[in-house]
């Protein structure tokens, strides 16, 4: 159950009541992320996310913000993705107005203090160092820089260190003013709240006529790949981190449903084909999984694994064989049935939490321009046939379009790419 509305100034309001909880979550999503950034400003959206916690006109320091939130035991944070930025506060239901007040204050009245900005450069650079030192965190960036090479989707969310060192205050403020606009914002309220009065309450904090402006488009990704590609990141590690995948569909494509089920069957859990074949049968990996990354104009199917480096070529060959089997023979009725039940169970558990519920609904509205209930999604999942899954496998698993990201002690791309030629 959810409701879409519009505030006085054009901001989208999405509400999702959950009476079984005593908590309420305020989530604001902004339609900006690293794919909206020119190369020389890559990392600026993530920088702004950090800086909005550094003081407002009403709460001049970060401590003023965090003391109020900590004083009511709030769960709060922010995040930046390639296509959106989010800020959330989850509190006990009696503190809804405080949560709204603080989030609106951060979004609309940031100070961008120069002294804090200089300190935060170091914080973000250390965050980048943390990712670069952790192959499990870094491998996603290595893969997407391969499959989306030459496009803003291939940029890292954090940006390069040099950009973080060079970004000027006026550049940051200008980018904020151009992107943090009413028409690009969504306010989501999930959990236990007074449903009859919620629009009036939210209007008190988010309804002022400010930050008006036009929507800013992004550059669409156009697939031009005609042969396998690889991005090898040399590192003397004990375990090799692999991400291997192919171009897929955009987030509103109906083929998303059979593709999601195919990903579950191949590597979505501990009874999946890849897990059983690569870990249980051969002992080649500690973990292996398959999944789908979706954007408004494109997507990717990928297999990720932490592999024994001495047997990595064997593992890559096994992955290819499993993808070929799915393409040529499809999946079984029993596998499809279990995958549908797996997705249903995970979705039900996810949507019991107010933060997860409003995030799941809010991202649909922001990035797909529509919202579908869990019931609608599950009906579409249940309608998928064996033929649908096989057809999607045949469309996706074209090895001329394979992309391979790897972190480990390897330099020779050809040995990996030859497996798919």
CA 381 – CA 261 distance, rounded (Å): 8
Mean pLDDT value of segment 345-364:
97
pLDDT of residue 323: 98
Q: Residue 280 has which token pair?
A: 């249980």
Which DSSP state fits 276?
A: I
Q: What is the pLDDT of residues 83-127, one digit of tens each?
A: 999 999 999 999 999 999 999 999 999 999 999 999 999 999 999
Judged against a pLDDT cut of 70, whether residue 273 lies above it is answered with: yes
Judged against a pLDDT cut of 80, whether residue 220 lies above it is answered with: yes
CA 32 – CA 213 distance, rounded (Å): 14
Banded model confidence at residue 211, pLDDT cuts 50, 70, 90:
low
Mean pLDDT value of segment 207-221:
76
Rg of the chain, C-alpha, whole Å: 23
Share of the chain above pLDDT 90, in %: 97
pLDDT of residue 71: 98
Chain-centre distance of CA 310, in angstroms?
A: 32
Q: Among the options 37, 49, 322, 363, which is catalytic?
A: 49
Mean pLDDT value of segment 142-165:
98
Which one is the CATH code of 229-420: 3.30.830.10, 3.40.50.12160, 1.10.1040.10, 3.40.50.2300? Answer: 3.30.830.10
φ/ψ (deg, to 5) at 3: -140, 135
The angle that helices 256-267 and 374-382 make with each other, rounded to 10 degrees, is: 70
pLDDT of residue 124: 98
Q: What is the pLDDT of residues 188-202, one digit of tens each?
A: 999 999 999 999 999
Burial of 125 per CB tally in 10 Å (0-12, 13-18, 19+): middle
Known active-site residue 49? yes
Banded model confidence at residue 214, pLDDT cuts 50, 70, 90:
low
Give 121 or 208, the one with higher predicted confidence.
121
Chain-centre distance of CA 371, in angstroms?
A: 17
pLDDT of residue 215: 63
Mean pLDDT value of segment 244-272:
97
Q: Are strands 229-234 and 403-408 parallel, antiparallel or unpaired?
A: parallel
On average, the pLDDT of the chain sits at: 96
pLDDT of residue 208: 84
CA 380 – CA 363 distance, rounded (Å): 19
Question: Hey, how many other C-beta atoms are within 10 angstroms of the C-beta on 333?
Answer: 10
Mean pLDDT value of segment 368-393:
97
pTM, rounded to two decimals: 0.96
Judged against a pLDDT cut of 90, whether residue 212 lies above it is answered with: no
Beta-strand (E) ranges in 141-196? 185-191
Q: What is the pLDDT of residues 181-190, one digit of tens each?
A: 998 999 999 9
Helices in 268-353 by DSSP H: which ranges?
Answer: 273-274, 312-329, 333-350
Q: Which candidate, 84, 230, 36, 82, places its Cα nearest to that of 143?
A: 230
Judged against a pLDDT cut of 80, whether residue 239 lies above it is answered with: yes
Mean pLDDT value of segment 277-293:
96
List all residues 6 or more positions away from 199 whose beta carbon is below 8 Å from its beta carbon: 5, 7, 13, 15
pLDDT of residue 217: 79
- Expressed in angstroms, the distance from the first to the final Cα of the chain is 49
Chain-centre distance of CA 116, in angstroms?
A: 27
The alpha carbon torsion through 70, 71, 74, 77 (nearest 10 deg) reads: -30
Q: Residue 402 has which token pair?
A: 């394979």
Helix (H) or strand (E) holding 74, with range, is: none
CATH 3.30.830.10 region(s) of the chain?
A: 3-206, 229-420
φ/ψ (deg, to 5) at 92: -65, 145
78: helix, coil or strand? strand
Banded model confidence at residue 1, pLDDT cuts 50, 70, 90:
confident
- Which fold is adopted by the domain 3-206? Cytochrome Bc1 Complex; Chain A, domain 1 (3.30.830)
What is the CA angle 340-343-344, rounded to 5? 85
Judged against a pLDDT cut of 80, whether residue 209 lies above it is answered with: no
CA 367 – CA 359 distance, rounded (Å): 12
Q: Are strands 23-30 and 285-294 parallel, antiparallel or unpaired?
A: unpaired
Mean pLDDT value of segment 354-374:
96
């Amino acid at each position: 159950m959810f409701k879409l509305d519009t505030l006085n100034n054009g901001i989208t309001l999405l509400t999702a009541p959950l009476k079984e909880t005593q908590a309420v979550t305020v989530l604001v999503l902004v339609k900006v992320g690293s794919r909206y950034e020119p190369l020389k400003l890559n990392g600026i959206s993530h920088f702004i996310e950090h800086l909005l916690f550094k003081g407002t006109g009403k709460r001049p320091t970060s401590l003023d913000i965090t003391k109020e939130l900590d004083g009511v035991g709030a769960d709060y944070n922010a995040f930046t993705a390639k296509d959106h930025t989010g800020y959330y506060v989850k509190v006990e239901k009696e503190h809804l107005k405080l949560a709204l007040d603080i989030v609106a204050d951060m979004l609309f009245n940031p100070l961008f203090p120069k002294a804090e900005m200089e300190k935060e450069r170091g914080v973000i650079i250390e965050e980048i160092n943390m990712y670069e030192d952790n192959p499990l965190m870094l491998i996603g960036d290595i893969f997407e820089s391969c499959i989306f090479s030459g496009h803003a989707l291939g940029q890292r969310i954090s940006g390069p260190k040099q950009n973080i060192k060079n970004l000027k205050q006026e550049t940051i403020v200008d980018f904020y003013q151009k992107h943090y606009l009413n028409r690009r914002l969504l306010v989501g309220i999930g959990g236990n709240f007074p449903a009859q009065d919620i629009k009036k309450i939210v209007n008190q904090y988010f309804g002022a006529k400010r930050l008006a402006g036009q929507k800013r488009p992004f550059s669409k990704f156009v697939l031009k790949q005609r042969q396998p590609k690889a991005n090898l990141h040399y590192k003397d590690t004990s375990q090799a981190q692999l991400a291997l995948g192919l171009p897929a569909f955009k987030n509103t494509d109906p083929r998303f449903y059979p593709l999601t089920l195919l990903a579950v069957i191949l590597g979505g859990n501990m009874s999946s084909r890849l897990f059983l074949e690569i870990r249980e049968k051969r002992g080649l990996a500690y973990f292996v999984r398959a999944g789908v990354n979706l954007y408004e104009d494109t997507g990717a199917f990928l297999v990720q694994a932490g592999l024994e480096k001495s047997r990595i070529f064997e593992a890559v060959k096994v992955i290819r064989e499993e993808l070929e089997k799915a393409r040529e023979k499809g999946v079984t009725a029993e596998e499809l049935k279990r995958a549908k039940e797996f997705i249903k169970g995970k979705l039900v558990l996810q949507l019991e939490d107010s933060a997860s519920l409003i995030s799941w609904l809010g991202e649909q509205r922001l990035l797909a321009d529509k919202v579908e209930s869990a019931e609608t999604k599950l009906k579409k999942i249940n309608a998928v046939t064996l033929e649908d899954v096989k057809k999607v496998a045949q469309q996706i698993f074209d090895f001329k379009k394979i992309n391979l990201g790897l972190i480990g002690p390897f330099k020779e791309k050809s040995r990996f790419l030859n497996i798919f030629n």
